Each structure stands twice: as structure tokens, then as C-alpha cells.
Amino acid sequence: MLKLSAFALAGAISFVSSVAFAADTTVEFWHSFADGKSNGVALSEIISNFEAANPDIHIDAQYIGNYNDIVAKLQAAIPAHRAPDAVIMEVTRYGLFADRGVLDDLSGRLASDSLSSDLFGFAREVGVYQGKNYIIPFNSSTPVLYVNKDIFAKAGYSEIPPLKTFDEIKAAATRITETLGGDGVMGMTSPGQFARWGLIMSNDSDLIDSKTGDVLIDSPNTVEAYEWMSSLIKDKVASPDGVTDEASDKQFFLSGHAGMMMNSTGDYGDVKKALGDNVEVLPMPCNKVCAVPIGGAGIGILASADPAVKDAAYKFISFAASPQSNAIWFAGTGYMPINKKTAAEPRAAAALANEDGINVAINQLDFARGRPRPPVVTWMRANEYDVWQAIALGTKDADTALSDFAERTREEARRLSN
């Protein structure tokens, strides 16, 4: 039998210990920002900077898909014990996972982090569910109205007309379609779910009351908003393809085939890349009131992660919300600054000075508000797509479809509360 001297044994133990100490901590991080897109590029830069400053931590960043995909895959991964360590969670969907103990309560970590006082109030609020912080904001947004100036000029407009009400927007979309429809150009894209929520709010209503939790899906102003949105499709001034495929509708606008698109300020980078100075960014309409939803997502830590990995994950989350990282994100994507010190960073200051329209979402914050986040919202948002398609494609009238959807949502809320 081989025997080691006490000196040799001590040296061996010392070597093993030093290797273990130097070993990387890997954080498996699920996100929704595709490689090659402006937000994917910005995220990669932030991660590279973090790993350079923290060589003992590796961020295993995995693109999972959109917010819906993340929810579905997370629900499948949890019972299989294959959940990640950290995950991007959209600001209305994380309540489902917080309610079930899937996400760590980050209140204590944030309270002892200097980042806490640097976050804007709206950014802090979107991460709070039932009095506790479950996500730290990363990408915050509001919907905005993107306008293709060249298409408006070809439709005979010497300048962009007022686009502040439903009637004004539809009138412009109608004129563009009638003038340029033969060239494959339509007035606008059909509104995606984020834009639909914004249009409902601008019509002085909501889907679910963010304070009381009351279901407002079947309220008169909500029904009226859906009727107007569906009229864009039925009157053939908005692309019908986007009703069933929001991603293709966005591409329809980016390729220069639509005069207007209502979408997230987080699309600013891709829109500017595609259309350059030919795009103008305007606020969402104020039909009956001025009101827009705050969207985007934050990063949460899974309760199932190892303690050391949780520490590393939070270190990354805090780094990602720092003014330096947030400036990279804001300037590269158009998502709103979440850190009060971001605007003073050179990249953010340059963007604000030179990128026309990048500040529109920021200016909407005076009338922006967070949305509800109890567990039923995740169910409601997943099922709203089918309801919208039925209304927009004419298989159901808005009143009937929304009355049924409202009752099913109330029933699901009761079920989830039991």
C-alpha cells in the first residue's frame, strides 16, 4: 500500500482545496433575448463584463424563447428537477411562481444592496408581490407607436398627422391602405398583446384591476376597445397575419410594409436598425385617458438553487441593474432606464442626445402604471390570444367572447385561491 508522509499528505490536501476554491460557480440563467437581435447583443456584453469582473462565476445564459415559452418550460422543468438557477420573468407572470414558493424572496438581499436606493420607484414596484421582492427589474418598457415616415409621405402626408385617438389612427391607416395597398403596404400591423393592453387602458379600462384584482374583461370600455381593434382587421387596414403570429407582423413593419406599429420600446433597437431615420417614435394614443402599461421583465432566483449559486446569481442580478450595465442595455435596445444614475453614463447620455425617439417611453412614465400580477394573470394572458383571434377573425363578437372569457377568468381565480 502506498503511504504518504504527513508533509506530502498536507500538500495534497492543500492542492485539492485550492483547486476547489478556484473552481467556477456556474449560474444557469434562462432568458428571452435572442442572439443577433439588439437585446441579445446587449445582454452578451453585460454578461462578458460581469464575468471579466468576477472570473470565479460563469453565467450559463440560455435563450429559451419568449415570455410564454419561459413560463411553459419552467412549469415543465420544476417537477423534473431541471429548473435553472435564475430566470427572466415577465412582470405580470412571476406572481404564479412566487405564490408557490418557486422563487426566492429577494427582499433581504435588495435591502442590504446599495442598488435599492438607485432604482426608480416604478422599477422597484414591478418586482413586488404581496409585499416581497421576487424579481429585480432588468428590462422595463411601455408600448409606443412606431411610424414609418416614408410610407406616410407616399400616402400624401406632408407631415405626420395627429395620432392621439382611435379615430385618428384608423383614419391614417385607412388612407395608407387605400393609397398604397396595391404595392403590398397596409396602414398598420395588428396590435400585439402588450399593445392591446395599452389600448384598453387608453380607453379608460383594464383587463384586471391592478389594485383590487377585479376582472374588467367584460366591462363596456374593454369591449369597446376590442371592437375597435378588431375593426382594423375586418376593415382590412391592418395585417391579419399578425392576429395569429405577432412575430411575423413585427417583421412586416420592419420590412417596410406597414405605416404604423404599436409595440414595446424594447423593439427600438431593431426598428432603428431596420428603418434608420425613416422611423418616428410617438406616444401611445390617449383615446379617453392617457394611460400605458409598464411591461418588460426582471430576474428572479429559483428557491431550488444551491446557496452558493444563489449568492452568485444575485451578484449578477445586481451587476445587471447597475448604471453601467443599464446604460449598455438602454442605449442598445431602447428599454427604459431602471437606475436613476443611468442617464449620467456616457453611453446613455449619447443615446438620449442622438437617438430620436428613445426617450418617448420615459416621457410616458407620468401616466404609466404597473399591471396586476396574481397567479390568475398568467392563465388569463395565455388564454387571451385565442379570445382575441376569435374576435379579430370574426368567429365571435366581442361582447359574447369577452363575457365568456371574463367568467372563465373569475372561475380560474377562485380555483387558484383554494
Whether 5 maps to a domain, the answer reads no
Considering the domain architecture, whether residues 37 and 69 belong to the same structural domain is answered as yes
The DSSP code for 200 is: H
Considering the domain architecture, whether residues 39 and 159 belong to the same structural domain is answered as no
Q: What was the pLDDT predicted at 65?
A: 96
Considering the domain architecture, whether residues 247 and 183 belong to the same structural domain is answered as yes
Whether 9 maps to a domain, the answer reads no
Q: Which among 299, 409, 376 is positioned nearest to 95, based on CA atoms? A: 376
Q: What was the pLDDT predicted at 107?
A: 97
Contacts of 53 (CB under 8 A, 6+ apart): 319
Q: What was the pLDDT predicted at 275?
A: 97
Considering the domain architecture, whether residues 197 and 147 belong to the same structural domain is answered as yes
Indicate the residue among 330, 350, 369 that finishes a domain.
369
Whether 247 maps to a domain, the answer reads yes
Q: What was the pLDDT predicted at 305?
A: 98
Considering the domain architecture, whether residues 155 and 265 belong to the same structural domain is answered as yes
Give the C-alpha distances (Å, rounded to integers) separating 71 from 91, 108, 179: 12, 25, 42
Coil vs helix vs strand at 34? coil
Asked if 60 contacts 72 with a C-beta cutoff of 8 angstroms, the reply is: no
Phi, psi of 316 (to 5 degrees): -65, -45
Asked if 300 contacts 104 with a C-beta cutoff of 8 angstroms, the reply is: yes
Q: What was the pLDDT predicted at 10?
A: 42
Phi, psi of 229 (to 5 degrees): -60, -45
274 grid coordinates? 431596420
Q: Locate cell 443615446: which residue?
A: 351
Strand 128-129 vs strand 132-133: parallel, antiparallel, or unpaired?
Answer: antiparallel
Q: What was the pLDDT predicted at 221?
A: 98
Q: What was the pLDDT predicted at 84?
A: 98
Considering the domain architecture, whether residues 72 and 215 belong to the same structural domain is answered as no
Considering the domain architecture, whether residues 175 and 277 belong to the same structural domain is answered as yes
Residue percentage of the chain with pLDDT more than 90: 91
Considering the domain architecture, whether residues 66 and 167 belong to the same structural domain is answered as no
Coil vs helix vs strand at 204? coil
Considering the domain architecture, whether residues 357 and 379 belong to the same structural domain is answered as no
The boundaries of the domain holding residue 313 are 25-141+295-369
Q: What was the pLDDT predicted at 418?
A: 84
Give the C-alpha distances (Å, rounded to integers) separating 273 from 145, 154, 333: 17, 21, 10
Whether 3 maps to a domain, the answer reads no
Across 368-395, b (16+ Cβ under 10 Å) vs e yields: bbbbbbbbbbbbbbeebbebbbbbbeee
Q: Which among 266, 225, 226, 267 is positioned nearest to 250, based on CA atoms? A: 267
Predicted confidence (pLDDT) per residue in 17-53, tens digit? 333 334 499 999 999 999 989 999 999 999 999 999 9
Whether 406 maps to a domain, the answer reads yes
- Average pLDDT of the residues of the chain: 93
Q: Which residues of the chain have pLDDT under 70?
A: 1-23
Whether 283 maps to a domain, the answer reads yes
User: Residue 155: what residue type?
Assistant: A
Q: Tell me how crowded residue 398 is: count the other CB atoms within 10 A of its CB.
A: 23
Q: What was the pLDDT predicted at 4?
A: 37
Number of domains in the chain: 2
Asked if 359 contacts 396 with a C-beta cutoff of 8 angstroms, the reply is: no
Indicate the residue among 354, 369, 384 that finishes a domain.
369
Q: What is the CATH number of the domain that holds 46?
A: 3.40.190.10
417 grid coordinates? 385561491
Q: What was the pLDDT predicted at 239?
A: 86
Asked if 406 contacts 377 with a C-beta cutoff of 8 angstroms, the reply is: no
Whether 380 maps to a domain, the answer reads yes
Q: Which among 368, 367, 303 is positioned nearest to 86, based on CA atoms? A: 303
Indicate the residue among 331, 352, 369 that finishes a domain.
369
Considering the domain architecture, whether residues 244 and 381 belong to the same structural domain is answered as yes
- CA 250 to CA 266: how far, in whole Å? 13
Asked if 243 contacts 389 with a C-beta cutoff of 8 angstroms, the reply is: yes
Asked if 162 contacts 285 with a C-beta cutoff of 8 angstroms, the reply is: no
Whether 231 maps to a domain, the answer reads yes
Considering the domain architecture, whether residues 276 and 225 belong to the same structural domain is answered as yes
Considering the domain architecture, whether residues 153 and 222 belong to the same structural domain is answered as yes
